[in-house]
Structures are given as C-alpha cells and as structure tokens.
Amino acid sequence: EDQVTQSPEALRLQEGESSSLNCSYTVSGLRGLFWYRQDPGKGPEFLFTLYSAGEEKEKERLKATLTKKESFLHITAPKPEDSATYLCAVRGGYNKLIFGAGTRLAVHP
C-alpha cells in the first residue's frame, strides 16, 4: 500500500534560520512526488513535482530534493510569509494524490 509520512509535525523557526522538512514514502513505482503549500482556510497550492532520484527543483527560498525513499524540502533563510503547512504527496492509481499529514511551519521575526 502506498504511504507517505512527513516529519516533523510542526516546526518553529526564527527568521533566517534555515531548515529541512522530510517526506518519506513507500510506493510501488514512483510516478511523481509533489509538494504543496497550504495556508489556513485555503486549498493547497502546488510547489514542485519530482520524478526521479537525484532530481532537485528550486523556487525562491525553497528547494526540493528526492531520493529513492524520501524527499526533503529545504527552506533557506525563511521569512514570516513562509509560514504555512507543507504537504507532500505521491501519485497513486488514476493519478489520485496520496498525502502525508503535513508539516506546520511557523517562522517568527
């Protein structure tokens, strides 16, 4: 059964303090790993798709990386506006997304 586990559940950072979020996955044949950002009261907003081990993608202060067992979302010098819940998902049958429980990130000035 396809499964996604995210850690930590919550992370508090000071502005400028870099860190990483982890997404471990178990899937029979990876057909895409997705990172989304979700702000309170809103739907998830697409960030990245990764397909093969070694692949990396960047967007502003965020960089996503992928190995055969996990993905990391690295946040460099975060700002308060980076505060959100970050969701990781893998593509399952019929392209449905199988999500982890998310990591709640709070960045304080």
Partner 1 sequence: GAGVSQSPSNKVTEKGKDVELRCDPISGHTALYWYRQSLGQGLEFLIYFQGNSAPDKSGLPSDRFSAERTGGSVSTLTIQRTQQEDSAVYLCASSSPDGLAGDRPPSSYNEQFFGPGTRLTVL
Element (H, E) at 62: strand 62-66
Please, which of residues 12-51 interact with partner 1 by CB under 8 A?
Answer: 31-32, 34, 36, 41-46, 49, 51
Cβ distance to partner 1 smaller for residue 18 or 52: 52
Q: What is the DSSP letter of 86?
A: E
Stretch that binds partner 1, among 20-28, 58-66, 74-82, 87-95 (CB under 8 A): 87-95
Q: CB–CB of 88/23 below 8 Å?
A: yes
Whether omega before 40 lies within 30 degrees of 0, making that bond cis, reads no
CB of 54 to partner 1, least distance (A): 13
d(CA 72, CA 23): 6
Could you give the 3-state DSSP secondary structure of residue 81?
helix
CB of 18 to partner 1, least distance (A): 25
Binding site for partner 1 (CB under 8 A): 4, 31-32, 34, 36, 41-46, 49, 51-52, 87, 89, 91-102
